[in-house]
Amino acid sequence: MRTYLSPNLSVFPESVPNAPIAVTSKADPLPDWLTDEENLRDEGVMFGLSDAGPDGKIAEIRSLFNHQATPLEGRIQEHTEKIDELNGLIEQRENLITSLRDQTNALRDKNPAPNNLMRTVISLLLSVLICIGNFYLIDETLRPAFPNRWIGVGVFLAGMFNLFGRTSFFYETDTRLSGRRLVEEIGLPFAASVFVLVQAWQTQSAGQAIALGVFVFFLFLLAGKLLLSTLTTLQTDIDNIQTNRELIIDKEKKLPVWEAQLSQLAREADAIRTQKWSIVTALTQTEADLTRLNARRDGLVNLFLSEFELARSVRDQLTQQQREAIFN
């Protein structure tokens, strides 16, 4: 019988995480020359008219924006790690739901094992009556020559010797029948039947004695095996009744518990998904902020470069005094 283990709520140790996401401290604000585009244009013009190259200033701009992006990148990493953690918890709940649902469906769909107890009991009683009748038939036949009833008991038990064999070629198919097995199964029943036939020959007609011998022989062969197989069937029917009783108890006690646990798991999974989507929303917003910050950085770098290149293109057209006037 399949044993159904009732899942314990302790298999769900992880509570739904509700810890807030840590917020990284904000970076220092950008300098005035970078927040005011007019000042940045002046910076580009000044660098263009001087002998300095633009790489240092561009690197400074990028460094300042990278410093601004650090908190956003930190929040993105924290959000991503938390989402991965929640995905793992959701997957765990879903695996438990699948396993528990399969177990619940298997128990709900399991049908009681068939049994034929009444038929088996009647067959067993008939087999016992046949064996008892066979014994009295043998005893009455042997009584004139052997008044001691124990002689009849011995002959009956010798004929029933095949009862103790585990199998019989009478009830098997596709079995190779050897001479040794043939002697083993029908040797003693045949000898006992011949012994009864000889004793019956002394008091009955030849036809009656032969009929009695053949009848007793087949009773030995078939009644014993029928009795043994009926006992085995009776044991199987009793086991099936016990299995069916346990199945009814399992359905009454375990199914409601498992269904409640399925509902609990579903609620936990929904709660985790709700928290996950709030973090996904925050992650999307943070990524958008980072994208805008990077776009602003690139725009300011391009603005500085354009003013730098424009000033550099006209630098050689200005006199020294004009350049000094601009710097002053």
pLDDT of residue 223: 73
Which of 95, 82, 97, 96 has its CA nearest to residue 275?
82
- Amino acid making up residue 72: L
Is residue 215 pLDDT above 70, yes or no?
yes
Q: List, for residues 106-146, the tens digit of each pLDDT value.
A: 988 888 888 777 887 888 888 788 888 888 888 888 878 77
> Between these two residues, 85 and 188, which has the higher pLDDT value?
85
pLDDT grade, residue 71 (50/70/90)? very high
pLDDT at 169: 52
121 CB-contact burial (10 Å; exposed 0-12 / middle 13-18 / buried 19+): middle
Q: Contact, 104 vs 262, CB < 8 A?
A: yes
| Residue 220 near residue 138 (C-beta atoms within 8 A) | no
Split at pLDDT 50, 70, 90, the class of 91 is: very high
Task: Give the model's pLDDT for residue 19.
Answer: 42
The listed range with the strongest mean pLDDT (224-238, 272-286, 300-314) is 272-286
Condensed to tens digits (0 to 9), the pLDDT of residues 34-64 reads 888 888 888 887 787 777 788 888 888 898 8
Report pLDDT for 162. 60
Own/partner contacts of 233-241, CB < 8 Å, gap of 24 or more, are 233/116, 233/120, 233/123, 234/117, 234/120, 234/121, 234/124, 236/115, 237/115, 237/116, 237/117, 237/120, 238/117, 240/112, 240/113, 240/114, 240/115, 241/115, 241/117
Task: State the Cα–Cα distance between residues 95 and 16, nearest whole angstrom.
Answer: 16
